[in-house]
């Protein structure tokens, strides 16, 4: 099997998922409506958070909206990654996975194509959020390089977290369980992190948990890129490091489970 064939397979499989995603009404909802709702509702409800003494000093911005932009990216990526696994369940149920398995393709391209399509979807959703944020007056303090890094974090974060729901999907072979378990394992993490509230304002035990929560470091990275002028490489680097570690675990587990599924 040549490398050219392999790339062709990955491209076709990723292309299929992207086409499917774009044709689904829920995708438009989650990618467009939900970020708007988050921006509008949360920032309206919590606007005065920014007035709490210490908020501006610890975050670097007096606008909760600006602070919250990073949280919207995280929330959207989490919601998007949560659904990634469901695609495999539908393919197992419909028999399409068998069609892929019986084709003379490298089986890794089935998984890789899917993950790449998830990545592409997440890039698109991140772009939508950033456009929305610009429209609402949020700027990126670190400029073009910061913008690129924002996309890179969202992409890597999304693929790493897609591994969780894909793993659960392959293990349970059931879409309801996949969504439920993914929801339980991801959303609490969002609120137990510094994504929606700066560390200074978190009370124990949340502040203690946040230290061990990987989302905290990803949120810090995003907040830093959006708010703080001058790139702070140690914060951004830490975010990538954490994503790399989580991704290594989730993607290894997913790969193992995938091998077991396709070689049954």
Partner 1 sequence: MTAQASTSVSKSRSSSIAAPRLTAEGDAIIHVENLVKVYDPDIRAVDGISFEVRRGEIFGFLGPNGAGKTTTIKVITTLIKKTSGTAIVDGIDVDKNPAGIRKIIGYAAQEVGIDDELTGRENLRLQCALYHLPKEEREERIAELLKAIDLEDAADRRAGTYSGGMRKRLDLAMALIPHPKVLFLDEPTTGLDPQNRAAVWDYIRGLNEQGMTIFLTTQYMEEADRLADRLCIIDHGHIMAEGTPASLKGSIGADVVTLSFKTNGVANPNATAKAALARIHGIREIQEVDGGIAVYAQDAPALVPQLVLALNDAHLDIAELTLTHPTLDDVFMKYTGRKMRTEEVTPQRRTPWGARRRRPM
User: What residue ranges bind partner 1 (CB under 8 A)?
Assistant: 1, 5, 8-9, 11-12, 16, 19-20, 23-24, 94-105, 263-264
Contacts of 93 (CB under 8 A, 6+ apart): none
**Is the CB of 105 or the CB of 159 nearer to partner 1?**
105
Least distance from C-beta 8 to partner 1, angstroms? 6
Report d(CA 25, CA 27) in Å as an integer.
5
Least distance from C-beta 125 to partner 1, angstroms? 19
Least distance from C-beta 12 to partner 1, angstroms? 4
User: Which tokens go with 146?
Assistant: 């910061």
**Is the CB of 50 or the CB of 169 nearer to partner 1?**
169
* C-alpha torsion angle, residues 168, 171, 176, 182 (rounded to 10): -10
Residue indicated by tokens 């064939």 = 5
**Is the CB of 102 or the CB of 144 nearer to partner 1?**
102
Report d(CA 31, CA 227) in Å as an integer.
23
Least distance from C-beta 38 to partner 1, angstroms? 27
Least distance from C-beta 20 to partner 1, angstroms? 5
Report d(CA 251, CA 247) in Å as an integer.
6
Least distance from C-beta 238 to partner 1, angstroms? 40
Question: Which alpha helices (DSSP H) does 23-142 contain, by range?
Answer: 25-28, 34-37, 43-46, 55-59, 64-94, 96-102, 108-135
Q: How many CB atoms lie within 10 A of CB 78?
A: 23
User: Which tokens go with 91?
Assistant: 């393919």
**Is the CB of 16 or the CB of 173 nearer to partner 1?**
16
Q: Left if phi > 0, otherwise alpha if psi is -120 to 50, otherwise beta: which for 230?
A: left
**Is the CB of 98 or the CB of 208 nearer to partner 1?**
98
**Is the CB of 20 or the CB of 248 nearer to partner 1?**
20
């Amino acid at each position: 099997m040549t490398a050219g064939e392999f790339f062709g397979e990955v491209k076709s499989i990723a292309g299929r998922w992207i086409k499917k995603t774009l044709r689904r009404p829920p995708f438009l909802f989650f990618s467009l409506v939900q970020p708007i709702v988050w921006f509008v509702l949360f920032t309206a409800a919590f606007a005065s958070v920014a007035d709490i003494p210490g908020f501006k000093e610890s975050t670097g911005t007096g606008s909760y909206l600006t602070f919250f932009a990073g949280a919207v990216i995280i929330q959207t990526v989490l919601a998007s990654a949560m659904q990634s696994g469901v695609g495999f369940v539908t393919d197992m149920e419909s028999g399409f996975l068998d069609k892929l398995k019986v084709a003379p393709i490298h089986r890794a391209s089935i998984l890789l194509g899917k993950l790449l399509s998830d990545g592409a979807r997440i890039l698109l959703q991140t772009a939508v959020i950033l456009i929305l944020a610009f429209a609402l007056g949020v700027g990126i303090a670190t400029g073009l390089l910061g913008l690129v890094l924002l996309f890179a974090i969202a992409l890597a974060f999304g693929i790493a977290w897609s591994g969780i729901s894909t793993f659960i999907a392959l293990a349970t072979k059931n879409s309801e369980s996949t969504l439920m378990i993914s929801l339980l394992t991801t959303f609490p993490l969002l609120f137990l992190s510094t994504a929606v509230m700066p560390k200074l304002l978190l009370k124990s035990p949340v502040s203690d948990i946040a230290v061990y929560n990987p989302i905290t470091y990803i949120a810090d990275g995003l907040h830093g890129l959006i708010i703080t002028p001058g790139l702070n490489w140690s914060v951004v680097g830490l975010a990538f490091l954490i994503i790399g570690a989580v991704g290594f675990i989730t993607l290894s587990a997913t790969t193992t489970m995938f091998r077991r599924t396709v070689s049954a």
